Structure 1
């Protein structure tokens, strides 16, 4: 039986003013107890002194432990494609057109390489679960349509003991009920799809599209995760019909709506009514602040809309809302590095969530809330659950979002998978001494202020 024993752990979502002792046996939390004060034990290594995954007695020095991050909406198949798919206008329309044109030239091997690179980046930053949407464009033909799905499923299989990946193909059902194309869709589901995806607001008949997607979900007993109303136009509102179908088909807690951009410019009373009904139907939501701030409002003059959904109103309604990466270095979003702390900071800026309680909400939007949307079992920091977590060199949620700590220690089922340590780059000895003195005094000050 392997054991991991942690001292002086900060659990900011539990009690930010206390430190905790944690014992992990095999792959589960066995003991989580509040300490009376800061404890010093010579037989425990500090995080900086860790040199292998076999070190089992760790003094966490008051640093933050969070459950592994959960990225509820990514596009692993598109990531790192910007060099081959430019987007001169920066619009959603050009991104879609250009990516579709280039798709026949992407091999399974290239897509798999890009998806693997992105998944490993996410894991190194502390993400232990991802839900990725995958292009499934029927007009491209049978030779092309399965490539992205095959590549991402390969990555899922290779990384299954390290990171949970859920794969959601994006289906646009044929208008003419083509038997051949419907067979491709059903084949994709049987290949290992974890849910039914799509973007019904892009269809000519969105109600028929939504009906078809719900029918597929019922037939194969799959959850639904859709791109919903990714538009600046407040008149684009497929959410209304999605809510109706969720209630009729009794799909409560099995539908997720991503983007929801058109809620932002929508008339207040209508938007609030939709959000209230969405919460009643137990439809989850995902905000994608990076991509939406970049893509939306491109044709506005004067006051430019930012495109991000109504974060405050959705949280206040009781609906489950996650914040996620969406796209990484592709024509839809040229930035990002699959780091949910970066996404959390963007969310805090755009939603004005800078208070202590607001930042705790941000943490929940990249941990607990998306874990609920993905229906993850054995998640969280509590006795009996799997010990998948990230240790951050920060002593509070405010510290996390002020410094976006580089030093992180990522554990999966009680095993250390990744550690990133800050390299000292001061070439001047005096400056290096000041750096060490400042860090040492700051650490002592923080301990005396918070825990003693």
Structure 2
């Protein structure tokens, strides 16, 4: 990589997802938003002859693939990196919930702030410039300490990352506490109706609260595989008449993976009519689901293909990062994309779209990336094509927000390799010494 300029850039030379090497020119508008002004294919691949290199604010990333910056549509920044603090056993969803409820009482506001800051900076470095995070508002003393911490992180990072906060109520959370979380700065109403004694009543409670506040809603929905019950169709019915610009999202939706096809198609049609976005969460659901009972061994990933075929906006996220709900995770959109390919049976191009363009749309963000008129929010990853970047997930990346570089990572590797034999040396000659191959 060339010496990368700091701050705003005038343009980028990089490979697009279709393999075209192109110059992407940027222009700042009167509203302060930097957008893509022109895209021109580069016919001469010799960097010494490329005129754009004369501009010190032009990024020469011809060994990189350029996409819109990624978005994380479903995170838990309050839980991130708590695995080592809580030391939970391996287990299913019920185990994780039990461990978190018992252990989180020991975590103070500073713990939430510190771990969330670590998570958000890792997400940004990996190319994620927008995050929707669910934050618990449990009953008991000071239920808003995590919300306050996340609001503080959002303010500190506001010029770098867009953060949306969902007040995640459990069925025992009093409605007035969720209202207090919204007053404290949470943006959307959230919850997990499927774990309530009366799931449909819990859907009604949470949707009603969102309606009374005029805000969006993002529910953990039917995060189970066994049984003949579900809440997602009731959710779709309740928000079907909402204004078009009010966000409504269903996360997990694991039950759709085991639903009969005729019922699945009926539910998918209802979701499409109601404009409910669905978030697939492969890494956490692969870890938590399919451990017991008749669904043992099932993937637990929602029915991506049927949903998309029926017109539902589907996106994908990483969910948890090294907490009781998932002991691993790199906070990397390319990790999610890789799992979409291997476990979700998506093409590399669809997988990349689900963590970039579709994720941005689900969060209500403007289009970004190398498209004329789009906002200059970019992720550039070293590689030859989309498949290469997903397969290798290199750390070498450049991240831009509104036309300015906000993160870059460069790596150097060396590998011992045998040097070529000396010309004319006999076969029995002493082998040549090893040399270092660098990249």
For the aligned pair, the TM-score class normalised by the smaller chain equals 0.7 to 0.9
User: What is the Cα deviation at residue 36 of structure 1?
Assistant: 5.1
In the other structure, the counterpart of 1:106 is 107
User: What is the Cα deviation at residue 298 of structure 1?
Assistant: 1.1
Tell me whether 249-258 or 359-368 shows the greater mean CA deviation: 249-258
Question: TM-score under structure 2 normalisation?
Answer: 0.88
Could you say what secondary structure the match of 2:334 adopts?
helix
In the other structure, the counterpart of 1:142 is 141
Instruction: Give deviations 1:194-250, integer Å, cap 9, x for gaps.
Output: 111011111112222111211211121111100000012242300121111122556
Do residues 159 (structure 1) and 165 (structure 2) align? no
* 1:396 aligned residue (385, 390, 394): 385
User: What is the Cα deviation at residue 377 of structure 1?
Assistant: 3.0
Instruction: Give deviations 1:299-318, integer Å, cap 9, x for gaps.
Output: 14796112111111112112
Could you say what secondary structure the match of 1:87 adopts?
coil
Could you say what secondary structure the match of 1:364 adopts?
helix
Conserved? CA contact 2:72–2:317, under 8 Å: yes
In the other structure, the counterpart of 2:306 is 313
User: What is the Cα deviation at residue 396 of structure 1?
Assistant: 1.1
Separation of aligned partners in 1, 2:154 and 2:418: 47
Tell me whether 165-174 or 315-324 shows the greater mean CA deviation: 165-174
In the other structure, the counterpart of 1:120 is 121
User: What is the Cα deviation at residue 282 of structure 1?
Assistant: 1.3
User: What is the Cα deviation at residue 129 of structure 1?
Assistant: 0.4
In the other structure, the counterpart of 2:263 is 270
CA RMSD across the alignment: 2.6
Do residues 24 (structure 1) and 26 (structure 2) align? yes
Separation of aligned partners in 1, 2:191 and 2:8: 44
Conserved? CA contact 2:66–2:369, under 8 Å: no
Instruction: Give deviations 1:401-422, integer Å, cap 9, x for gaps.
Output: 2221221011122222221112
Cα 1:264/1:171, change in 2 over 3 Å: same
Cα 1:314/1:211, change in 2 over 3 Å: same
Instruction: Give deviations 1:152-207, integer Å, cap 9, x for gaps.
Output: 111111111111110001123559xxxxx433221211111111101111111222
Conserved? CA contact 1:392–1:407, under 8 Å: yes
Question: TM-score under structure 1 normalisation?
Answer: 0.85
Could you say what secondary structure the match of 2:388 adopts?
helix
Do residues 333 (structure 1) and 326 (structure 2) align? yes
Could you say what secondary structure the match of 1:119 adopts?
helix
Separation of aligned partners in 2, 1:183 and 1:348: 42
Could you say what secondary structure the match of 1:83 adopts?
helix
Task: Report the number of matched residues.
Answer: 415
Separation of aligned partners in 2, 1:420 and 1:37: 28
In the other structure, the counterpart of 2:339 is 346
* 2:362 aligned residue (360, 366, 373): 373
Could you say what secondary structure the match of 1:63 adopts?
strand
Separation of aligned partners in 2, 1:102 and 1:303: 28
Unaligned 5+ runs, structure 1? 48-53, 176-180, 440-452
Conserved? CA contact 1:252–1:281, under 8 Å: no
User: What is the Cα deviation at residue 86 of structure 1?
Assistant: 3.3
Tell me whether 365-374 or 240-249 shows the greater mean CA deviation: 240-249
Separation of aligned partners in 2, 1:252 and 1:3: 31
Do residues 413 (structure 1) and 402 (structure 2) align? yes
Cα 1:174/1:327, change in 2 over 3 Å: closer
User: What is the Cα deviation at residue 29 of structure 1?
Assistant: 2.7
Q: How does 1:43-442 map to 2 (within 5 A)?
A: 55-138=56-139, 141-143=140-142, 145-172=143-170, 181-249=174-242, 254-300=247-293, 304-353=297-346, 358-377=347-366, 379-426=368-415, 430=419, 435=437
Tell me whether 34-43 or 412-421 shows the greater mean CA deviation: 34-43
Could you say what secondary structure the match of 1:142 adopts?
coil
Tell me whether 362-371 or 377-386 shows the greater mean CA deviation: 377-386
Tell me whether 34-43 or 241-250 shows the greater mean CA deviation: 34-43
Unaligned 5+ runs, structure 2? 1-6, 420-432
Could you say what secondary structure the match of 1:231 adopts?
coil
Instruction: Give deviations 1:376-423, integer Å, cap 9, x for gaps.
Output: 136343344431211111121121122212210111222222211122
Conserved? CA contact 1:4–1:25, under 8 Å: no
Separation of aligned partners in 2, 1:327 and 1:7: 33
Identify, as 1 or 2, the structure richer in helix: 1
Separation of aligned partners in 1, 2:246 and 2:75: 20
Identify, as 1 or 2, the structure richer in strand: 2
Separation of aligned partners in 2, 1:17 and 1:172: 46
User: What is the Cα deviation at residue 350 of structure 1?
Assistant: 1.0
Could you say what secondary structure the match of 1:153 adopts?
helix
